[in-house]
Structure 1
Amino acid sequence: MVSRLFSSIPSVTRKLLIANVAVFLLQSIAGASEATRAWPLWFELWPWVPAPYEVDGPGFMPWQLLTSGFMHGGLGHLVFNMLALVMFGSSIEYEWGARRYAIYYVVCLLGSALLQLAAATYAIYQGQLILTLGASGAIYGLLLAYGVMFPNRKVTLLPFPIVLKARTLVIVYALASLFYGVFTTGTGVAHFAHLGGMLVGWLLIRWWRSHPPRGGSGGPRRDPRAEALRARRKASKLRLVK
């Protein structure tokens, strides 16, 4: 049963799920030994530290823009993000196909990291050192795309048992991230990464809609491979009914 459910997750979403879990396991292994405990710090997102400020650690490295998006601060953090990845990402990948979906995910991840980098660098001047890790920025980009593509679908607002339309959920999370990012500090949540993922995702969708492929009518087009994925998904459901 579990293997059937896992195999029903489309290819890119499944690979992202595996990658995030694998990296979390490596983090846990490294953290268990005194000799390797500091290794993960090289892959979390550090702020850019201008002179004359100094930090005790590796500081910002370009690869952190990508690697930090596959790391998590705890099991709960990982589980929440992976549930959202499967919930939103699967539907988007079935609609767009693997290639466009993968591009969108990576662009949202990098965009969220860049905005968070700017926010964390600004925080240096306020006497705060903020390190960032987690897939939440890319997940918020997926939430934005889901709300654009399926605005009237009903979604449960986590962690509260409240059911909202997808477009309403997007607005609620965006406003909450903006409020907490601007007016609060020390929450332990990368609100600007969330906003960055949404903003970059929105810009990319607008770009695709205004620059359709030759012969297209605007917006992300359905990939033939996505059609095949949806067909296999329906066939899988029929087999389960038997």
Structure 2
Amino acid sequence: MRRVTDAIKHLLIINILFFVAAQLLNDEFYYAMALWFPENDNFGIWQFVTHMFMHDKSSIFHILFNMYALWAFGSPLEQMWGRNKFLFFYFSAGIGAALIHTLVNYYQFREGYQAMIGAGYTPDRIAELLPTIPPGQYLQVEGISNKVMQNFAMSYNIPAVGASGAVYGILVAFGMMFPNAELMLIFLPVPIKAKYFIPILIALDLFSGVTGMSIFGSGIAHFAHVGGALFGFIMMWYWKRNQFKNNRWD
């Protein structure tokens, strides 16, 4: 069995502690650590980091899948790179994922906001309505598509949590370092080489993010996954072109 490397071990412990704390403490802790839209009153700049240690409180599978992937794909990378280089990569991918997620949310929020202005709503009225929309619900406005209004509301009042963005960066790095390693999808128990498996997984997330049709279930920040993968690819491409690729940062 693959050993648990130093950085992986500490990341696992911190994630588990945050998950337990979210179960035991009131919602204020969850709201403070999750990543909110910048115009939401719950937003804090630290959330670009802390959201990576938070997971869905209602299901243990979210944290289990992320922690398993972190261990399975991150351990060989840390063994090659050293602890500090691995942590730099991990947090860069996670923060990059949060930035992409926030940019997509901003686009969707502005699209809905401008549509409501065009429908006759004033900025003050919109500001009054936003906090009253329950998470997962949206306003129906005549002349504006439900999809636009749904994206508008979800961008504002549903926070992002989870290590998935950072893990997708790790997946990309693993695929570039071990392209011929054979992996299996849960719903397709046939070995697929990492150089095919990981691009397919990212493409599915991109498809789900663009169309809103997800085979993985609802409530998933697909563009955060794509963002983590993108930042992971950029860092690997940069390291490949210079001396940092082969250097350990112990």
Give the secondary structure class of the aligned counterpart of 1:162: strand
Q: What is the deviation of 1:60?
A: 2.2
Q: What is the deviation of 1:42?
A: 1.5
Q: Distance in 1 between matches of 2:10 and 2:4?
A: 9
Q: Which runs of 5+ in 2 are unaligned?
A: 113-147
Q: Distance in 1 between matches of 2:172 and 2:30?
A: 30
- 1:190-218 deviations in whole A, cap 9, x for unaligned? 100001101001111111122325xxxxx
- The answer on 1:189 being equivalent to 2:220 is yes
Q: Distance in 2 between matches of 1:109 and 1:196?
A: 8
Could you tell me which residue of structure 1 aligns to residue 11 of structure 2? 16
AA aligned to 2:52 is: G
AA aligned to 2:77 is: I
Q: Distance in 2 between matches of 1:172 and 1:163?
A: 13
Query: If the length of structure 2 is used for normalisation, what is the TM-score?
Result: 0.76
Query: Would you identify which runs of 4 or more consecutive aligned residues in structure 1 move more than 3 Å?
Result: none
Q: Is the 8 A contact 1:45 1:60 kept in 2?
A: yes
- 1:105-151 deviations in whole A, cap 9, x for unaligned? 01001000111111222333343233110000001101000000000
Q: Is the 8 A contact 2:101 2:224 kept in 1?
A: yes
User: How many residues end up aligned between the 2 structures?
Assistant: 202
AA aligned to 1:12 is: A
Question: Relative to structure 1, is the Cα distance of residues 88 and 159 closer, same or farther in structure 2, using a 3 angstrom cutoff?
Answer: farther
Q: Distance in 2 between matches of 1:170 and 1:48?
A: 31
Query: If the length of structure 1 is used for normalisation, what is the TM-score?
Result: 0.78
Could you tell me which residue of structure 1 aligns to residue 21 of structure 2? 26
- The answer on 1:104 being equivalent to 2:89 is yes
AA aligned to 1:88 is: F
Across the aligned residues of Structure 1 and Structure 2, the Cα RMSD in angstroms comes to 1.9
Q: Is the 8 A contact 2:78 2:86 kept in 1?
A: yes
Q: Is the 8 A contact 1:47 1:118 kept in 2?
A: no
Give the secondary structure class of the aligned counterpart of 2:192: strand
The 10-residue stretch of structure 1 (158-167 or 197-206) with the greater mean CA deviation from structure 2: 158-167
Q: What is the deviation of 1:11?
A: 0.3
The 5 A counterparts of 1:83-232 are 83-124=68-109, 125=112, 126=148, 127-129=152-154, 130-184=158-212, 187-213=218-244, 220-223=245-248
Q: What is the deviation of 1:162?
A: 2.8
Q: Distance in 2 between matches of 1:48 and 1:118?
A: 10
Q: Percent identity?
A: 32
Q: Distance in 2 between matches of 1:171 and 1:203?
A: 15
